[in-house]
């Protein structure tokens, strides 16, 4: 049998169906061991709220004289947190609202319509409810739709929902706009490291940098204290631009030292998670008894078959590479087995 397999180890039960069935106890497959359970009172972290970076990036878009200030804020946030929020990012609020509405309609459509797009472990493209193929894995309380947006050659519209009628068009437009934003952020990050502004873009594939989208749907959960919407992980690509739910602010948490800190996204902001560059921030999503939640994670990934290693310009006898070079396609396979597992897959690739 090849790896990854082309079938899931057991029939997929969408979390949405479980949630809608009115159960008051979650199936044992979703119950995390006590040590991995969230402590739901970590919600009260108003002190750290003050420091969670929110960056106005309009100077980068307009090329104004406040560019240095924005660049400095990005560089500081990357070193200190591994993530930041951006406002005045230039992606139209109207487009964002249409995207949310289209995908809400898709997830609310009849189960048979959604199952027509069911994904498999080989490609992950389509409608799914688990990531890992290990039969023993404990599952997360969430469903998703995963698709390839960019470059054009990877896009297969037939695998995207046909309904609602504007979903494909809106999603394509959103992908283009967010890729443009991502490239601008990658340039800023490159400059902040003392590299040429195009260095990172070139090193990760130039026009072949990939854009993929994971639309997350976290239905209401009767026992949120026993499980997670999405287990701890760090995203594998370059950066992730996350659009969180417009109403339900709590849910996504990032790890800061030993603590899980809530990100309460500002209205209209995107959350930018840095991955390969700077800190690759570990994050997770809580389940919620009162409210369902939608989010859109746009992953900006290196071209799949390019070896990714440390920039020679940044390596010195005092600052040795931490990891051996690896291609993105190889790296991704690590996550296919057990699903999200904190940073253990990164740890296992450390240079000797």
Q: And the tokens for 270?
A: 């995107």
The partner in contact with residue 190, picked from Ni ion, ligand OGA, none with C-beta cut-offs of 5 to 8 angstroms by kind, is none
Least distance in Å: CB of 43 to ligand OGA?
15
Interaction between residue 283 and ligand OGA (CB under 6 A):
yes
Which residue, 83 or 160, has its beta carbon nearer to Ni ion?
A: 83
The partner in contact with residue 242, picked from ligand OGA, Ni ion, none with C-beta cut-offs of 5 to 8 angstroms by kind, is ligand OGA
Which residue, 226 or 235, has its beta carbon nearer to ligand OGA?
A: 235
Which residue, 199 or 260, has its beta carbon nearer to Ni ion?
A: 260
Query: Which residues from 218-257 bind ligand OGA, rule CB under 6 A?
Result: 230, 235, 242, 244, 251-252
Which helix (H) or strand (E) segment holds residue 327: the answer is strand 326-327
- b (16+ CB within 10 A) / e for 111-135: eeebeebebbbeebbbbbbbbbbee
Least distance in Å: CB of 299 to ligand OGA?
7
> Would you say 55 and 73 are in contact if contact means Cβ atoms under 8 Å apart?
yes
Give CA angle at 151 (147, 155), nearest 5°. Answer: 40
> Would you say 264 and 293 are in contact if contact means Cβ atoms under 8 Å apart?
no
Distances (CA, A) of 239 to 6, 66, 179, 201, 301: 28, 23, 11, 12, 7
Which residue, 121 or 229, has its beta carbon nearer to ligand OGA?
A: 229
With a CB cutoff of 8 Å and minimum separation 6, the contacts of 165 are none
Which residue, 168 or 340, has its beta carbon nearer to Ni ion?
A: 340
Which residue, 168 or 233, has its beta carbon nearer to Ni ion?
A: 233
Least distance in Å: CB of 144 to ligand OGA?
7
Least distance in Å: CB of 263 to ligand OGA?
8
Least distance in Å: CB of 244 to ligand OGA?
6
Which residue, 12 or 248, has its beta carbon nearer to ligand OGA?
A: 248
> Would you say 55 and 76 are in contact if contact means Cβ atoms under 8 Å apart?
no
DSSP 197-234: TTHHHHHTTGGG-EEEEEEEEE---S-GGG--SEEEE-
Q: What's CA 255's distance to the chain center, in Å? A: 15
SS (H, E, C) 73-116: HHHHHHHHCCEEEEECCCCCHHHHHHHHHHHHHHHHCCHHHHHC
Interaction between residue 140 and Ni ion (CB under 5 A):
no
Distance CA 16, CA 221 (A): 10
- The residue within the footprint of ligand OGA, chosen from 147, 285, 300, 308 (CB under 6 A), is 285
Query: Which residues from 227-246 bind Ni ion, rule CB under 5 A?
Result: 235
Least distance in Å: CB of 234 to Ni ion?
7
Which residue, 224 or 236, has its beta carbon nearer to Ni ion?
A: 236
- Of the CA atoms within 13 Å of residue 68, those in its CB half-sphere come to 1
- The residue within the footprint of ligand OGA, chosen from 147, 226, 297, 300 (CB under 6 A), is 297
Distance CA 248, CA 211 (A): 26
Interaction between residue 216 and ligand OGA (CB under 6 A):
yes
Least distance in Å: CB of 237 to ligand OGA?
10
Which residue, 138 or 244, has its beta carbon nearer to ligand OGA?
A: 244
Say whether 16 sits in a helix, a strand or coil: helix
Least distance in Å: CB of 282 to Ni ion?
9
The partner in contact with residue 295, picked from Ni ion, ligand OGA, none with C-beta cut-offs of 5 to 8 angstroms by kind, is ligand OGA
Chain residues in the site for Ni ion (CB under 5 A): 235
Residue ranges in contact with ligand OGA by CB under 6 A: 214, 216, 230, 235, 242, 244, 251-252, 283, 285, 295, 297
């Amino acid at each position: 049998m090849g790896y990854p397999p082309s079938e899931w180890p057991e029939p997929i039960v969408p979390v949405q169906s479980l949630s809608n069935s009115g159960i008051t106890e979650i199936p044992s497959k979703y119950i995390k061991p006590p040590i991995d359970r969230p402590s739901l009172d970590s919600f009260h972290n108003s002190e750290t709220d003050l420091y969670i970076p929110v960056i106005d990036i309009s100077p980068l878009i307009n090329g104004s004289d406040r560019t240095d200030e924005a660049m400095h804020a990005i560089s500081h946030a990357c070193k200190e947190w591994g993530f930041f929020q951006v406002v005045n990012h230039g992606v139209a609020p109207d487009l964002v609202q249409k995207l949310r509405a289209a995908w809400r309609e898709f997830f609310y459509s009849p189960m048979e319509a959604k199952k027509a797009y069911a994904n498999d472990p080989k490609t992950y493209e389509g409608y799914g409810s688990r990531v890992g193929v290990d039969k023993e894995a404990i599952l997360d309380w969430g469903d998703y739709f995963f698709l390839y947006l960019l470059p054009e050659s990877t896009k297969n519209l037939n695998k995207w929902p046909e309904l609602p009628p504007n979903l494909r068009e809106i999603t394509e437009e959103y992908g283009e706009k967010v890729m443009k934003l991502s490239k601008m952020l990658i340039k800023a990050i490159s400059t902040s490291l003392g590299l040429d502004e195009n260095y990172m873009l070139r090193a990760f594939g130039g026009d072949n940098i990939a854009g993929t989208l994971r639309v997350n749907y976290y239905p209401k959960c009767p026992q949120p204290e026993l499980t997670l919407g999405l287990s701890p992980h760090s995203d594998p690509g370059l950066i992730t631009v996350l659009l969180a739910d417009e109403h339900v602010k709590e849910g996504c948490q990032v790890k800061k030292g030993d603590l899980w800190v809530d990100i309460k996204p500002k209205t209209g902001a995107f959350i930018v998670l840095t991955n390969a560059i700077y800190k690759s921030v570990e994050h997770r999503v809580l389940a919620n008894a009162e409210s369902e939640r939608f989010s859109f994670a746009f992953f900006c990934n290196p071209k799949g078959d390019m070896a990714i290693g440390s920039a020679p310009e940044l390596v010195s006898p005092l600052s040795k590479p931490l990891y051996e070079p690896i291609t993105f396609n190889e790296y991704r396979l690590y996550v296919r087995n057990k699903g999200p597992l904190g940073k253990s897959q990164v740890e296992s690739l450390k240079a000797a």
